A and B are shown apart, each in its own frame.
Chain A
C-alpha cells in the first residue's frame, strides 16, 4: 500500500484551513506547507496567520478554522469553559518544546546589576534573588510595582513566570503586575519603559535585544528545560468527524518537525519570509547561538527551540497535568476536578500512536520526569493547589 493510496483515499476533508500566530514555533506548519509534507499526505492546506489567540480560539470553535496552533493551556481552558465558551477540545500533536525567554528593560537590568548579587544572567536562582531584592527596595522607596507582559492568560509564559517568581515568595498578583500584550507591541512598550520585562516566544526576545532596548535575563530553558508550549488543537467534534484527515495532518507535521530540527538554516529563511522579520532576528533561537545581551557573545543554548527530538511531538499527559494544576493553583480552575479524566480526554495519545505507528514512540509505561527548578517527579508529588506554597 503506497503512501499516496493511504493519503488520498478516505480523507474526509482534504482541504483545510489551519491558523497560526507569527512566531518562530509556528515553523512546523509553515514547513509542512512549503516543503510539501501536507501535499504528500493528500492535504491541501490554507494557512491563516492570525493577530490574536482569541481569534484563533473563536475561529476554531465556530469552524472557520479546522485546526490551529494553540497555546496548550488555552486549549484546556476552552475545554473547561474558563474565560470563554466551553467546548470539548483535543490535541493529538505537540508542536515542540521551549522557544521562550524573559527579556527585561535596560533600566531593570541596571537595577539588578546594582544589587550585590552576581552572575545573574541566565541563572534562574541568582536572577530571582536579584529580582526579589529590587522588588523590596522599590517598595521601601515607594516606587511603582514592576510590570511584566505575557502573551495570554492561559499560557506557559504566564504559568512559568508565576511559578518562578512564587518560588522565591514573590506574589505575582500583588508584588508585580502582569499584563497581556501582543508580542510585537511588547518590544515597543519595553523601549518606551511602559513595561519592565516580557515573557514571550521567539523571535521577539531577539528583536528587543538586537534593537538594544532590553536584554534576556533568563531563557525558558534556564527555568525549565524542555517545557511544553504549543499544540495542534481541534475541537473534539472535528477530530471525531475527520479521523483520517487528522491522521494525515499528524504525519505531515511530524515529518515537518523532523525536517525543521535537521535544517535550521533553511528553516530560518523560510520562517523569516512568512513572519516578515529579517533572518538575523530568527537565527539565534533556531541555531541555538542565543545572544542574551547586545554586543555580547552568544551562549550556546542547543535546545532553545526543539521541534521533534526528545519525543517533543508526543502529547505528554504529564504536561497537561501540570497545566491543569497551575490553573487550579491560581484559582482559575476548580480544585475538585477529575484531572486524570480531563487530561485523558484532551491529550489524545492513542491518536498519536496510531498515526505514527511506524515511528519511534515513547514506551507506554514511560512517565515524563520534569526538570523545573528543583526537579520533582510526578509519581511522588500531589497535583493541585495544595502542592504549592508561597508566602
Chain B
C-alpha cells in the first residue's frame, strides 16, 4: 500500500538517499515510498558498518536513520569532519518548521541532509519518512495484537478441551462454563483458561 506522495525529484535531479535502519521491513517500505516519490535510494545499511566509506562512495543528499540508533553520533562526527557531508536535519528547521522536526522525533526518524538542499524538498523527504515510520509502527502494533490474540485463542481452546475431556462437557457447555467463571470472578477469559489449564494439569498428573 503506498500513499500518494508528492514528487520530490524530477528525472533530471533525482535526490540520492541512503537509509540506515536495522529493521529491514521498515527500510523496504521506506525505500519503496521514496522511490515512488522520485528519489533514488543509493544504499540501505542495517548498521553503521562501513558507513563512512559508503557515504564517500555515493555522496547521498540525505541519510535517513532511526532515532534510536546509537550510530547517530558517528554521523554527527562525519558532518563536522567534512563540510560536504550531510548535516543533522534539525539544523534546517526554523520557527515555521519546528513541527516537522517534532513530528520526526515522535515518529522515531532522524535525518542528515546536505547543505544547500531546497527546504521544500527536505520537508518532503521528512514527511515521507515520518509517514512510513508511523505506518510501520502501526503495523507492528497490529502484529503484536494479532500475535497476542492467537496466543490467547490457543489457551482458550486448550482449556475448553480439558473441560470437555475431564468434565464430560460438549464444546458449547465448556465455553459457557468458562464464560460464567470469567463473569463471576471479573476475570478475562484467557486468565480463566490459564487457571483451568494449570489446575487440570495438576489434577491429572
Contacts and interface: CB of A to CB of B under 8 A. Distances in A.
Contacts of B75: 54
B90 A152 contact: no
A83 interface: yes
Contacts of B74: 179-181
Nearest to B74: A180
A12 interface: no
Interface in A30-61: 51-55, 58-59, 61
A59 B73 contact: no
A62 B101 contact: yes
A180 B77 contact: yes
Interface string B113-157: 000000000000000000000000000000000000000000000
Contacts of A85: 88, 90-91, 93
B105 A62 contact: yes
A62 B72 contact: no
Contact of A61 (B68, B73, B87, B90): B90
A144 interface: no
Contact of B88 (A51, A83, A151): A83
A153 B87 CA distance: 14
Contacts of B91: 81, 84-85
Contacts of A82: 80
B68 A54 contact: no
A53 B90 CA distance: 14
B67 interface: yes
Contact of A179 (B72, B77, B93): B77
Contacts of A154: 80
Contacts of A83: 76, 79-80, 87-88
Contacts of A62: 90, 98, 101-102, 105
B86 to A, nearest CB: 12
A53 B76 contact: yes
Nearest to A81: B91
Nearest to A54: B72
A182 interface: yes
Given A61-B90, A84-B88, A84-B91, A152 B77 contact: yes
Interface string B56-84: 00000000000111111111110111000
B73 A84 contact: no
Interface string A67-84: 000000000000001111
A58 B98 CA distance: 12
Contacts of B90: 58, 61-62, 84-85
B88 A55 contact: no
Contact of A59 (B70, B98, B105): B105
Interface of A: 51-55, 58-59, 61-62, 64, 81-85, 151-154, 179-182, 184-185, 332
Given A84-B88, A152-B73, A152-B77, 4 more contacts: A61-B90, A84-B90, A180-B73, A182-B70
7 contacts: A59-B105, A62-B98, A62-B105, A85-B90, A153-B76, A153-B77, A182-B71
